[in-house]
């Protein structure tokens, strides 16, 4: 664009030079901005490690195995129960959210008329717009009491599965539990998984779908043979991104989970905790070592979510699917 | 039906395969609901939710069974899949309706002009007065400062990634931005706590909250701006280059204005997202019952934080105020969200 033709006068040469300088300055500024992203992520990792060190060194032997959180009084604390609760509640949430998210994505793209589908897409995204603290408040005062019936039902009919059995045979004390947290998480993860799945499913080549229908396939057979196989990498990454979100969700979980420190797979009984919820609940009362210990637990959460997100991105990049949704 | 078709065993799968008329399907579903109603009237079964679930299950079983008997297995599976998709839709819209509806129901009780214009200064434990003015001021300032940091920076990063970064560094930054979208909000808060509050000894302030919110806002801005800039037609750029306009001027005068509507949408969605963030704010702004208009100094209140503390309170008065604050927060977020969506319609750039 700045090629100089023969016979240009000095003024236009100066123009070209100044525009080149402008280009250099401008591109330099954008490079610095890009480098800041690098620096920021580096700083996050470094400062978390530095401020977690006192707690990690103080409790070298048992940080990974201790199931108690009492750094300031007795100096005993560990992330064992927290990591377990975080993973359990998130996996349970995905088990509930993913089928529904896929169903609603398929419905909005393949079943609903185009205009209706777009509107339903907005509504689904609206679920993601509700702040997590509102979900927490709603979960605490609306969902918890209304969930007792479901919990009783699950316990009575599926109680033979250890997941749904009562820890001590007490089945009528359902309240703040891993199950309640999972339901809230499922509602919050649902729009994310649905939005990406919608994009991915919408990108399937219409010719493939029409070919399947022309061969006499029913709509479901068309979905199974022409839509799901090419969408699989995108859906897998959607699920992983949803998992990342569920693992790190804080406030909503903090309000509806039991805040106890035991490793128990009985999700219906009161109790449970997650790394993020523990930070929110214990931060106010934490002393110096307590804060350091909370930062150390946050570091663990950071690493876990980082791994999950890296896997999700890897799946996306490898498959070449363009998923870019405002909801994510 | 010709003789050789029937002899080949194609009769049941031919063009004249037996199909259920729509009224029959609808009738079967209604009958299932009626039977459920009778069951609930006669047996000890009760409850509205239980009735709806039982009726739905029974209706689906009836319709699928009928289809299986008349139209065959393939059509039955297809009907089942359709029902599944419909149920998924209902299960998605139910929580949305219940959350918004219940918040509106509980929130309107206390949401008055007085509530919006007063702080919690001097409000005793048994006083139903007090409001969220201090929290609104805090949230607006924190989100504004966060956006002042994140939006220009995010735009520059997006420009670098799309216009200059066709190299390993650019790819790496794109990847890191994607990774940043996955940072849990509480981790962003912990970082600011470790860096700003503990390492630099700056103490709690609204600005500390702004940094944390900016970290969360940045990747959302970058990604949406990046997407919009990529959509600007190459012909526009080339026309500008052909006129001798340098690249930086082309970007600032041609590319960005063309993408402006889309970028604004993305920014508004990003703002809507961070306005409701509680976790980072909880760790670094402190909280305050009084009005503190200075974001640089001293603890500040924030709307999400106000709700969180109200939710955890044992006083019903606090809980009522939390609901009213939640309704305010939802209204702010939904207005931003709807405005962003309406703006999308005016966007001439489409994929």
Looking at the structure, tell me whether residues B182 and B50 fall in a common domain: no
Whether residue A169 has pLDDT greater than 70: no
Looking at the structure, tell me whether residues B73 and B152 fall in a common domain: no
Confirm or reject CATH 1.10.3720.10 for domain A69-327, answering yes or no. yes
- Domain map of chain A by residue range? 1-58, 69-327
pLDDT of amino acid A135: 95
Residue A90: count other Cβ atoms within 10 Å of its Cβ: 27
DSSP B301-312: --HHHHHHHHHT
Query: Residue A171 corresponds to which tokens in the numbers above?
Result: 């089945």
**How far is the C-alpha of A198 from the C-alpha of A186, rounded, in Å?**
17
**A324/B81 CB distance under 8 A:** no
Looking at the structure, tell me whether residues B183 and B84 fall in a common domain: no
End of a domain among B76, B107, B138?
B107
What residues of B are in contact with residue A191 (Cβ under 8 Å)?
A: 92
Looking at the structure, tell me whether residues B49 and B137 fall in a common domain: no
- pLDDT digit of tens for each residue in chain B (351 aa)? 444 444 444 444 555 667 888 888 888 888 888 888 888 888 777 778 888 888 898 999 998 998 888 888 888 999 999 999 999 999 999 999 999 999 999 999 888 888 888 888 877 777 888 889 999 999 999 999 999 999 999 999 999 999 888 888 988 998 889 888 889 999 999 999 999 988 888 888 899 999 999 999 999 999 999 989 999 999 999 999 999 899 999 999 999 999 998 899 889 989 998 999 999 999 998 888 888 888 888 889 899 999 999 998 888 889 999 999 999 999 999 899 888 888 877 776 765
**B311/A308 CB distance under 8 A:** no
Predicted structure pTM score: 0.88
Looking at the structure, tell me whether residues B170 and B286 fall in a common domain: yes
**A301/B165 CB distance under 8 A:** no
SS3 B233: coil
**Average pLDDT value for residue range A95-115:** 94
Q: What is the pLDDT of residues B58-81, one digit of tens each?
A: 999 998 998 888 888 888 999 999
Query: Residue A288 corresponds to which tokens in the numbers above?
Result: 């110096």
Q: What is the 3-state secondary structure (H, E, C) of A257-268?
A: CCCCCCCCCCCC
B112 domain residue, yes or no = no
Looking at the structure, tell me whether residues B159 and B222 fall in a common domain: yes
**How far is the C-alpha of B1 from the C-alpha of B208, rounded, in Å?**
79
pLDDT of amino acid B327: 95
Looking at the structure, tell me whether residues B86 and B172 fall in a common domain: no
Distance in Å, alpha carbon of A138 to nearest chain B alpha carbon:
6
The pLDDT confidence band at residue A167, using thresholds 50, 70 and 90, is: low
Q: Which domain holds residue B91?
A: 3-107
Q: DSSP alpha helices (H): ranges in chain B?
A: 3-7, 22-42, 48-70, 73-107, 113-117, 133-159, 168-180, 185-192, 206-231, 234-242, 247-250, 256-275, 279-284, 303-311, 316-345
Q: Which of A137, A192, A215, A280 to mutate to test the interface with B (most CBs of B within 10 A)?
A: A137
pLDDT of amino acid A13: 63
Q: Tell me the C-alpha to C-alpha distance, in Å, between residue A299 and each of A83, A111, A260, B183.
A: 12, 44, 21, 11
SS3 B300: strand
Q: Which of A182, A251, A259, A301 to mutate to test the interface with B (most CBs of B within 10 A)?
A: A251
pLDDT of amino acid A15: 65
User: For chain A, what is the mean pLDDT?
Assistant: 85
End of a domain among B73, B107, B141?
B107
Distance in Å, alpha carbon of B114 to nearest chain A alpha carbon:
22
For chain B, the domain total comes to 2
Q: What is the pLDDT of residues A51-64, one digit of tens each?
A: 998 888 886 667 88
Q: Enumerate residues 6+ apart whose C-beta is below 8 A from B328.
A: B107, B111, B116, B132, B136, B303
Looking at the structure, tell me whether residues B159 and B99 fall in a common domain: no
pLDDT of amino acid A327: 40
More confident residue, A269 or B241: B241
CATH of the domain at B262: 1.10.3720.10
Looking at the structure, tell me whether residues B102 and B133 fall in a common domain: no
pLDDT of amino acid B1: 41
Whether residue A328 has pLDDT greater than 60: no
Looking at the structure, tell me whether residues B142 and B213 fall in a common domain: yes
Report the chain A residue with the minimal C-alpha distance to residue B188.
A44
End of a domain among B57, B86, B107?
B107
Whether residue A171 has pLDDT greater than 50: yes
Is the confidence metric ipTM above 0.90 for this complex?
no
Phi, psi of A80 (to 5 degrees): -55, -55
**How far is the C-alpha of A151 from the C-alpha of A187, rounded, in Å?**
17
User: What percentage of chain A carries pLDDT values higher than 90?
Assistant: 46
B56 domain residue, yes or no = yes
B128 domain residue, yes or no = yes
Looking at the structure, tell me whether residues B66 and B159 fall in a common domain: no
B32 domain residue, yes or no = yes
pLDDT of amino acid B148: 96
**A324/B223 CB distance under 8 A:** yes
**A133/B329 CB distance under 8 A:** yes
**How far is the C-alpha of A306 from the C-alpha of B180, rounded, in Å?**
9
What is residue A70's DSSP assignment? E
Looking at the structure, tell me whether residues B94 and B145 fall in a common domain: no
């Amino acid at each position: 664009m700045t090629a100089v033709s023969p016979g240009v006068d000095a003024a236009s040469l100066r123009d070209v030079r100044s525009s080149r300088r402008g280009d250099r300055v401008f591109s330099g500024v954008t490079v610095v901005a890009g480098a800041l992203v690098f620096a920021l992520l580096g700083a996050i990792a470094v400062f978390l490690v530095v401020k977690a060190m006192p707690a990690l060194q103080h409790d070298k032997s048992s940080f990974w195995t201790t199931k108690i959180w009492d750094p300031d009084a007795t100096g005993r604390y560990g992330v064992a129960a927290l990591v377990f609760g975080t993973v359990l509640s998130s996996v349970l949430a995905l088990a509930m959210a993913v089928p529904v998210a896929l169903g609603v994505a398929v419905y909005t793209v393949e079943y609903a008329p185009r205009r209706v589908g777009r509107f339903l897409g907005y509504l689904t995204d609206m679920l993601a717009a509700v702040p997590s603290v509102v979900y927490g408040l709603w979960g605490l005062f609306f969902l918890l009491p209304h969930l007792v019936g479901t919990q009783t039902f699950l316990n009575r009919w599926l109680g033979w599965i250890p997941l749904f059995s009562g820890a001590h045979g007490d089945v009528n004390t359902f309240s703040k539990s891993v199950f309640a947290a999972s339901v809230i998480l499922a509602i919050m993860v649902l729009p994310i998984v649905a939005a990406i799945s919608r994009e991915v499913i919408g990108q399937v080549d219409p010719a493939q779908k029409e070919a399947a229908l022309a061969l006499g396939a029913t709509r479901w057979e068309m979905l199974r043979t022409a839509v799901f196989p090419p969408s699989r990498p995108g859906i897998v990454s959607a699920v992983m991104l949803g998992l990342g979100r569920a693992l790190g969700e804080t406030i909503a979980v903090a309000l509806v989970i039991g805040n106890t420190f035991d490793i128990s797979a009985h999700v219906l009984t009161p109790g449970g905790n997650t790394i993020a919820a523990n930070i929110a609940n214990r931060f106010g009362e934490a002393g110096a070592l307590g804060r350091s210990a909370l930062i150390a637990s946050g570091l663990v959460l950071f690493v876990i979510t980082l791994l999950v997100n890296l896997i999700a991105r890897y799946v996306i990049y490898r498959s070449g699917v363009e998923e870019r949704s405002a909801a994510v | 039906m010709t003789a050789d078709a029937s002899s080949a065993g194609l009769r049941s799968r031919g063009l004249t395969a037996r199909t259920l008329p729509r009224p029959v399907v609808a009738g079967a579903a209604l009958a299932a609901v009626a039977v459920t109603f009778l069951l609930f009237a006669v047996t000890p079964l009760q409850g509205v939710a239980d009735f709806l679930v039982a009726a739905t299950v029974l209706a689906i079983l009836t319709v699928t069974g009928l289809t299986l008997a008349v139209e065959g297995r393939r059509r039955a599976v297809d009907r089942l899949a359709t029902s599944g998709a419909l149920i998924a839709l209902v299960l998605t819209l139910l929580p949305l309706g219940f959350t918004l509806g219940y918040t509106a129901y509980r929130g309107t009780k206390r949401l008055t002009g007085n509530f919006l214009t007063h702080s919690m200064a001097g409000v005793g434990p048994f006083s139903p007065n007090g409001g969220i003015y201090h929290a609104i001021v805090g949230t607006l300032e924190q989100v504004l400062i966060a956006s002042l940091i994140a939006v220009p920076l995010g735009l520059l990063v997006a420009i670098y990634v799309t216009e200059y970064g066709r190299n390993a560094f650019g790819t790496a930054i794109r990847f890191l931005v994607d990774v940043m979208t996955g940072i849990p909000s509480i981790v962003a808060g912990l970082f600011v706590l470790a860096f700003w509050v503990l390492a630099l000894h700056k103490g709690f302030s609204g600005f500390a909250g702004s940094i944390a919110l900016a970290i969360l806002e940045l990747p959302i801005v970058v990604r949406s701006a990046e997407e919009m800039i990529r959509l600007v037609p190459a012909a526009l750029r080339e026309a500008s280059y052909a006129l001798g306009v340098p690249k930086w001027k082309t970007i600032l005068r041609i590319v960005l204005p063309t993408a402006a509507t889309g970028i604004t949408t993305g920014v508004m969605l990003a703002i809507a997202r961070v306005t409701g963030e509680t976790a980072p704010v909880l760790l670094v702004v402190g909280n305050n019952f009084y009005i503190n208009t200075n974001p640089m100094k001293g603890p500040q209140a924030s709307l999400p934080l106000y709700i969180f503390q109200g939710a955890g309170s044992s006083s019903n008065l606090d809980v009522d105020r939390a609901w009213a604050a939640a309704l305010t927060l939802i209204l702010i977020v939904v207005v931003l969200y709807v405005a962003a969506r309406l703006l999308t319609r005016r966007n001439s750039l489409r994929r």
